[in-house]
Amino acid sequence: MSIDALNFNSLVSLVEQTHLHFQQQAVKAVNVSLTIRNWLVGYYIVEFEQKGEDRAQYGENLFTELAKRFKHIKGVDRRSLYRFKDFYLLYPQMATFIFSDKNTLFLPNTFPKSIVGSATPLLEALQKVGSVTPQLDLSTQSEGIAIRGSLTTESENATILVPAEKILSNLSYTHLELLFTLDDPLKRAFYEIECIKGTWSVRELKRQINSLYFERMGMSQKPELLSELTQQEIVPQTPNEIVKSVYAFEFLGLNAKDAVEEEDLETALLDHLQAFMLEMGHGFCLEARQKKILIGDEYFFVDLVFYHRILKCHVLVELKVEDFNHHNIGQLNTYVNYYKSKVMQADDNPTIGILLVTNKNNALVEFATAGIDNQLFVSKYLVELPSKEILESFILKELAAWK
């Protein structure tokens, strides 16, 4: 289209497409840098464990000692260091991209050049392997996938490797962390390919794994049809969904709470609710807002965390600008149980959760107590905490102000 022939609608479309294109490029750049960093850290750790001069001095305490040194780097803790090592061991094909002649130019000036030399045997082995087996005919997206270890389809040692370029260009590190949990290399490659084909979000990838998509594919008489039907039902992820990754925010040095998308209404409600509960004077002490906790392999954020000096317990508050559903109370119960198991001190009383659910017309308040069976304590917290009626009234007044 000639720029001289633009009408207003064409101008709008052109600006939007240009914005989307460069937004995607920015997201991809952040993701590639983060993923390469994590793989390299895993590589350094393995190299140290195998050849480090003082490796015996640290032994099993290596990850603990490293984590202590990296407290100033967001997202690099003991757990993540173990994950980086897993990443390196599970994805050796990254070496073909990271240590190629054109990409070594982008490595930091302090990068140990000897490592590139030590990777040469690995690079040569990867470059000599064959092509994908006929049994894994998933789509044209699988072109270039290699089998490491043996070129025979019968070999139990064969490992299917999706090319590093495809992984770096299409999967975030959050995707990869989820894939680390899959022990079967074939299953892992299957989900990598399907995820790339359908541009799945992390949530969608998790849903498909939990639905046993791989196992159902193996039992299907027409796997191509199942793949087609599955991909048709999925809404592809957008650049916004990728860049909001907790890992991406930490990598860029942003606050963890910035990784949580909040509507203006929800933000304002939390602001006012926080002030409201503190002003009630019933012993609420604010500990955190958008408190980041790790449950299993997934990060969650608790809206408000108080410690109640009279009840001597934590009070967790979750606000949902939507109708009540069982997932809401289940999530809050999970947080309460987490605090009971991981945070509560010996002289603390059990953690209490308060769920506030709202839509434009009504409000609902529920309490979560994680199985508290001390009736005296239950009676006491019912007196000290704001009642359901008070909280519901507060929410309705806030909603009215927004109409």
Q: What is the pLDDT of residue 375?
A: 60
Q: What is the pLDDT of residues 110-132, one digit of tens each?
A: 666 555 555 554 555 455 443 33
Residue 201: what residue type?
A: S
Q: What is the pLDDT of residue 343?
A: 92
Q: Strand order of the sheet with strand 130-131?
A: 130-131, 146-148, 159-161
- Contact between 79 and 66 (Cβ < 8 Å): no
Q: What is the pLDDT of residue 128?
A: 46
Instruction: Report d(CA 292, CA 298) in Å as an integer.
Output: 10
Q: What is the CA radius of gyration of the chain?
A: 26
Write out the two tokens for 86.
Answer: 């897993």
- Contact between 365 and 354 (Cβ < 8 Å): yes
Domains and CATH numbers, the chain: 3-248 (no CATH), 262-402 (3.40.1350.10)
Residue 347 burial class via C-beta count within 10 angstroms: exposed 0-12, middle 13-18, buried 19 and up: exposed
Q: What angle do CA 197, 201, 205 make, to 5 degrees?
A: 75
Instruction: Report d(CA 176, CA 165) in Å as an integer.
Output: 14
Q: What is the pLDDT of residues 16-32, one digit of tens each?
A: 888 877 877 777 788 88
Q: What is the pLDDT of residue 91?
A: 93
How many CB atoms neighbour CB 315 within 10 A? 25
- Contact between 34 and 173 (Cβ < 8 Å): yes
With a cut of 50, list the residues of the chain below it in pLDDT.
121, 125, 128-158, 243, 256, 258-263
Q: What is the pLDDT of residue 110?
A: 61
Q: Residues with Cβ < 8 Å from 262, sequence gap 6 or more?
A: 270
Instruction: Report d(CA 346, CA 312) in Å as an integer.
Output: 11
What is the 3 state secondary structure string of the chain? CCHHHCCHHHHHHHHHHHHHHHHHHHHHHHHHHHHHHHHHHHHHHHHHHHHCCCHHHHHHHHHHHHHHHCCCCCCCCHHHHHHHHHHHHHCCCHHHHHCCCCCHHHCCCCCCHHHHHHCHHHHHHHHHCEECCHHHCCCHHHCCCEEECCCCCCCCCCEEECCHHHHHHHCCHHHHHHHHCCCCHHHHHHHHHHHHHHCCCHHHHHHHHHCCHHHHHHHCCCHHHHHHHHHHCCCCCCHHHHHCCHHHHHHCCCCHHHHCCCCHHHHHHHHHHHHHHHHCCCCEEEEEEEEEEEECCEEEEEEEEEEECCCCEEEEEEEECCCCCHHHHHHHHHHHHHHHHHHCCCCCCCCEEEEEEECCCCEEEEEECCCCCCHHHHHHHHHHCCCHHHHHHHHHHHHHHHC
Q: What is the pLDDT of residues 65-103, one digit of tens each?
A: 999 998 888 778 888 899 999 999 999 999 888 877 666
Instruction: Report d(CA 386, CA 284) in Å as an integer.
Output: 11
pTM over 0.75: no
